[in-house]
């Protein structure tokens, strides 16, 4: 003799279904709150007012007769290489994209192969590195993701 589908069965199906939905939502909300690094800009209106100035600076930088590149060496030091090999100074910061680690201030010193190298290595992981490079009285702003 087979038993029919009763109200208790329906109750178990409903509890199971909604329990699964709530569990998945709770898990996803936990992951989202642990990995969100914050806002891109604190005030989007103020950032929008500066946008045309940033475009002008980028066009001026593209017209420079020199180019600098960011990199990371085997010992995880950030490197700045100037295409024409001239004298250059730089300052910068390394920001962990997910906010899991504090920002790292970068101090640069000349390296034997030419260009500059940070005095301290980057911690392991992925970093958004922003550097201001000065050469011939002009400043270029570079940003790159380094691993």
Of the two residues 1 and 24, the one the predictor is more confident about is 24
With beta carbons less than 8 A apart as the criterion, state whether 128 and 114 touch: no
Model pLDDT for residues 80-104, shown as the tens digit of each residue? 988 776 678 899 999 988 767 899 9
* CATH code assigned to 44-146: 2.60.40
Residue 119 buriedness (CB in 10 A; 0-12 / 13-18 / 19+)? exposed
At 3, the pLDDT band (50, 70, 90 cuts) reads confident
- Model pLDDT, residue 2: 82
Percent above pLDDT 90 for the chain: 63
- Model pLDDT, residue 115: 85
Average pLDDT over residues 49-67: 91
pLDDT at position 75 over 70: yes
Residue 81 buriedness (CB in 10 A; 0-12 / 13-18 / 19+)? middle
Residue 71 buriedness (CB in 10 A; 0-12 / 13-18 / 19+)? middle
Average pLDDT over residues 63-73: 89
Main-chain dihedrals φ then ψ at residue 34, nearest 5 degrees: -80, -25
Distance between CA atoms of 21 and 10, rounded to whole angstroms?
Answer: 17
Distance between CA atoms of 128 and 97, rounded to whole angstroms?
Answer: 6
């Amino acid at each position: 003799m087979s038993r029919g589908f009763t109200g208790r069965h329906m109750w178990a199906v409903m509890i199971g279904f909604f329990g699964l939905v709530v569990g998945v939502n709770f898990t996803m909300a936990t992951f989202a709150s642990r990995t969100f690094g914050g806002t891109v800009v604190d005030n989007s209106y103020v950032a929008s007012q500066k946008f045309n100035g940033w475009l002008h600076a980028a066009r001026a930088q593209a017209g420079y007769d020199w180019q600098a590149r960011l990199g990371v060496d085997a010992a995880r030091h950030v490197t700045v290489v100037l295409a024409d090999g001239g004298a250059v100074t730089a300052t910068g910061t390394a920001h962990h994209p997910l906010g899991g680690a504090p920002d790292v201030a970068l101090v640069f010193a000349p390296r034997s192969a030419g260009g500059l190298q940070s005095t301290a290595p980057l911690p392991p992981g992925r970093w958004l590195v922003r550097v201001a490079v000065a050469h011939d009285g002009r400043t270029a702003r570079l940003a790159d993701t380094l691993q």
